Amino acid sequence: MKNNLIKLMMLVVACFLVINGMGQTGYITNNSSNTVSVIDVSTNMVTATIPVGTGPRGVSVSHDGTKVYVANRYANTVSVINTTTNTVSATITVGSNPYGVAVSPDGTKVYVSNFNDNTVSVINTITNNVSAIINVGNFPLGIAVSPDGTKVFVANYNANTISVINTAADTVSATISVGTTPCGITVSLDGSKVYVTNMDNSSVNIINTSTNLVTDTISVGSNPCGITISPDGAKVYIANLNANTVSVINTATNNVSAIITVGLGPYGISVSPDGTKVYSANAYTNTVSVINTVTNTVIDSIIVGSNPFTIGNFISTANVGIPSNPTPTPSISIYPNPTNSILNIKQTNSQSTQSPNQLIITDILGNEVYKETLRDIDNSISISNWNSGIYFYEIRGDKGSICGKFIVDK
């Protein structure tokens, strides 16, 4: 029964994530403030400010949403943020002038481009140690991992090339010529294409990952850097630094379908996992523009720290949660939350559900990990053998569903 309770709590979390913009959080690196601004995607409000190293630029959220990795350019370190507590849990020394950072899909490795060293540091996320150093092209900047985790693509700013890293061997398997001063990079959802922004060419190259050849070049705004792809793969969004715009590329036609004016100096860009909003970090106005992807208009502007030269996936790509019909007011009490040993779950409203109740628990990726019919939801569960992370539970009864989340933090 204790195991049932834990799973139940996890499912509740999932339902709340569905309600609140999929429970997503954005992490904006403020280069001159040496901080990270934490944004609640559902409300577009800054909920916390986290001190990190000097000159934070690159950022990457782990796919389970539990950690954020920040490349501190002038400290030669990577800060590891615990998203449960919004505190730095580790600081890892890497190469000189770390710029881009990307977490592998399975969360076991982090890849960091060291701008001055012409290398990529590979971090083991279990030990928080650098496990390998890979030589790449001159001044590596943007970095991205393929969806299957087998390849890493690095934009070499002064070499006008892309280095392709074989992640099994930690070696460069190919070098691809692209436009002038490549900056940002993203990979299609099926891994078949890579999109690269070329700052001095004001263009985007499309690379076929099977042949390692550039198949198309698309003109965009002046000095493009940050780039991201929508969850359905239908659109690519580019932050044009000197044009103060975001270009929208239709991936079916490879044409620019819209140009959106944002704040001054848009540098980094990310899309919410449900695809409804795009966030542009504007380095010269200390703001983040929020774009409605249906109307292609700016619907909000969020004030953050100084010079948000944010590059990378600063909103988790995990599509969490499960479909449900949650009650407006939660009638389940879960405590303590976060927890590391025992989780208690108690029904606070006897009319909220009727027995029997169906308990469903999912993990952060929406995978169902537990399902059982319950007649009593007042229990305590031992979670001493559970992995750290976010879990979601749902209790389905004949009067509807009760959903929520809980966090295991060890």
130 found inside a domain: yes
Residues 64 and 139 in one domain: yes
Residues 224 and 150 in one domain: yes
Residues 291 and 146 in one domain: yes
pLDDT in tens, 94-117: 999 999 999 998 889 999 999 999
pLDDT in tens, 143-171: 999 989 999 999 999 999 999 999 999 99
Mean pLDDT of 119-146: 97
What is the amino acid identity at position 142? G
| Residue that is last in its domain, among 303, 336, 353 | 303
Looking at 14-18, 251-255, 350-354, 367-371, which range is the least confident one? Answer: 14-18
User: Residue 128: which domain range?
Assistant: 25-303
pLDDT at 48: 93
pLDDT at 163: 98
315 found inside a domain: no
> Alpha helices, DSSP H only, in 214-260?
none
pLDDT at 23: 55
pLDDT at 326: 37
pLDDT in tens, 387-400: 777 777 777 766 66
The Cα-based distances of 281 to 32, 87, 242, 295, 313 in angstroms read 14, 22, 13, 19, 12
> Count of CB atoms within 10 A of residue 58's CB?
28
pLDDT confidence bin for 401, thresholds 50/70/90? low
Residues 33 and 112 in one domain: yes
Residues 339 and 293 in one domain: no
| Residue that is last in its domain, among 244, 273, 303 | 303
Residues 268 and 399 in one domain: no
Tokens read off for 111: 């890849």
Residues 202 and 270 in one domain: yes
| Residue that is last in its domain, among 268, 303, 338 | 303
Q: Measured on CA atoms in the order 255, 316, 319, 326, is the torsion positive or negative?
A: negative
Percent of the chain with pLDDT over 90: 65
> Alpha helices, DSSP H only, in 252-405?
none
CATH of the domain at 353: 2.60.40.3080
CATH of the domain at 298: 2.130.10.10
Nearest to 207 by CA among 217, 193, 218, 220: 193
84: pLDDT strictly greater than 90: no
The Cα-based distances of 392 to 23, 67, 322 in angstroms read 11, 17, 9
pLDDT at 6: 44
pLDDT in tens, 21-34: 345 799 999 999 99
pLDDT at 176: 98
345 found inside a domain: yes
The domain tally of the chain equals 2
